[in-house]
């Protein structure tokens, strides 16, 4: 894949540490020759993100809390000043009160519902609009979603409702920006042990279930997601937009396992 992204510049949002899905994607992109900028949520994360960015040859590490429109504006002002244009955007951000990522969806509070939708759904639309304004020659954007948007998964609750809205936003944004040669897609990743995932109830059980029941009989890695993102963000994905692409070892196609399937 080396050279596939040569001459292309993009912003990675949502890197927290070396377990982040954003890190798998960033490595795949840098390996293919892309030049990267990173945004991080708060000062506490800067000391984690700086050295990771440096490993991939990036010095452009900027703060952005997506819950704050002014913070998003200043990120894009800085990027505009540094680069002027952008070829791709990765949005790997989601958040909900972890007390509500267990038990029943029915108990979700209005306050947490709105906060989850704001950070996990609206933020993609807000950054996509600003990124598109920096893509005069076309571009590609990817966000991260999960199967809990389509089917009920234990404990995913309000996050599943938010991901369903995120996937719908991907389709609307694909139409809005399509005539400008800008593609918008989502990757629906299988469960991966990250900081965000550790907030979800029984997460280890969910991982084990996926490993035993997916067609490939394994979980996916950061690298798997990174390589699929590379395809969607590069010209290899030129004909693809508005899509939710499953990188989940095939788990989403399974209805029921045969009686002779491995023990569950
Ligand atoms: P992670 O904890 O490494 O990343 C989540 C990121 O969101 C962090 O970098 C955090 O700083 C950022 N974030 C949260 N609130 C923010 C705010 N207000 N402003 C700016 N940034 C904010 O975990 P991850 O699993 O890599 O999550 C990345 C994306 O992948 C999320 O959208 C998540 O829902 C999605 N996803 C994860 C899995 C999984 O199993 N880990 C599966 C499918 C989809």
Assign 3-class secondary structure to the chain.
Answer: CCCCCCCCEEEEECCCCCCCHHHHHHHHHHHCCCEEEEEECCHHHHHHHHHHHHHCCCCCEEECCCCCHHHHHHHHHHHHHHCCCCCEEEECCCCCCHHHCCCCHHHCCHHHHHHHHHHHHHHHHHHHHHHHCCCCCCEEEEEEECHHHCCCCCCCHHHHHHHHHHHHHHHHHHHHHHCCCEEEEEEEECCCCCCCHHHCCCHHHHHHHHHHHCCCCCCCCHHHHHHHHHHHHCHHHCCCCCCEEEECCCHHHCCCCCCCCCCC
pLDDT, residue 127, reads: 98
- Indicate if ligand 1 lies below 6 Å from the C-beta of 20: yes
* Ligand 1 centroid – CA 261 distance (Å): 33
* Ligand 1 centroid – CA 94 distance (Å): 5
Residue to mutate, 26, 194, 199, ligand 1, most ligand atoms under 8 Å from C-beta: 194
Domain positions in the chain: 9-250
**Which residue's CA is minimally distant from atom 34 of ligand 1?**
94
Annotated catalytic residues are 146, 156
Q: Annotated binding residue at 98?
A: no
pLDDT, residue 259, reads: 76
Residue to mutate, 15, 21, 247, ligand 1, most ligand atoms under 8 Å from C-beta: 21
pLDDT, residue 98, reads: 94
Q: Annotated binding residue at 196?
A: yes
Fold entry, domain 9-250: Rossmann fold (3.40.50)
Q: How far is CA 125 from CA 31, 82, 129, 234, 255, in A?
A: 28, 23, 6, 21, 33
Would you give per-residue pLDDT tens digits along the chain (264 residues)?
679 999 999 999 999 999 999 999 999 999 999 999 999 999 999 999 999 999 999 999 999 999 999 999 999 999 999 999 999 999 999 999 999 999 999 999 999 999 999 999 999 999 999 999 999 999 999 999 999 999 999 999 999 999 999 999 999 999 999 999 999 999 999 999 999 999 898 999 999 999 999 999 999 999 999 999 999 999 999 999 999 999 999 999 999 887 766 655
pLDDT, residue 138, reads: 98
CB atoms within 10 A of CB 215: 12
**Which residue's CA is minimally distant from atom 29 of ligand 1?**
92
Interface confidence (ipTM) of the complex: 0.99
């Amino acid at each position: 894949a080396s050279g596939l992204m040569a001459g292309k510049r993009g912003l990675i949002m949502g890197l927290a540490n070396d377990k982040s899905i954003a890190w798998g994607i960033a490595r795949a992109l840098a390996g293919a020759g892309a030049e990267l900028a990173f945004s991080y949520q708060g000062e506490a994360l800067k000391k984690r993100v700086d050295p990771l960015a440096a490993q991939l040859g990036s010095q452009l590490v900027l703060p952005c809390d997506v819950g704050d429109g002014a913070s998003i504006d200043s990120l894009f002002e800085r990027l505009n000043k540094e680069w002027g244009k952008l070829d791709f955007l990765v949005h790997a951000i989601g958040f909900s009160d972890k007390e509500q990522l267990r038990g029943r969806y029915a108990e979700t509070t209005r306050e947490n519902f709105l906060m989850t939708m704001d950070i996990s759904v609206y933020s993609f639309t807000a950054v996509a609009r600003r990124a598109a304004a920096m893509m005069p020659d076309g571009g590609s954007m990817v966000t991260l979603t999960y199967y809990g948007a389509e089917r009920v998964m234990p404990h995913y609750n309000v996050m599943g409702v938010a991901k369903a809205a995120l996937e719908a936003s991907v389709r609307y944004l694909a139409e809005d920006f399509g005539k400008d040669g800008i593609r918008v897609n989502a990757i629906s990743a299988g469960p991966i042990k990250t900081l965000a995932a550790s907030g979800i109830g029984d997460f280890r059980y969910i991982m084990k279930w996926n490993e035993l029941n997916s067609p490939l009989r394994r979980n996916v890695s950061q690298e798997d997601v990174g390589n699929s993102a590379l395809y969607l963000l590069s010209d290899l994905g030129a004909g693809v937009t508005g899509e939710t692409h499953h990188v989940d070892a095939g788990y989403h196609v399974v209805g029921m396992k045969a009686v002779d399937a491995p023990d569950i």
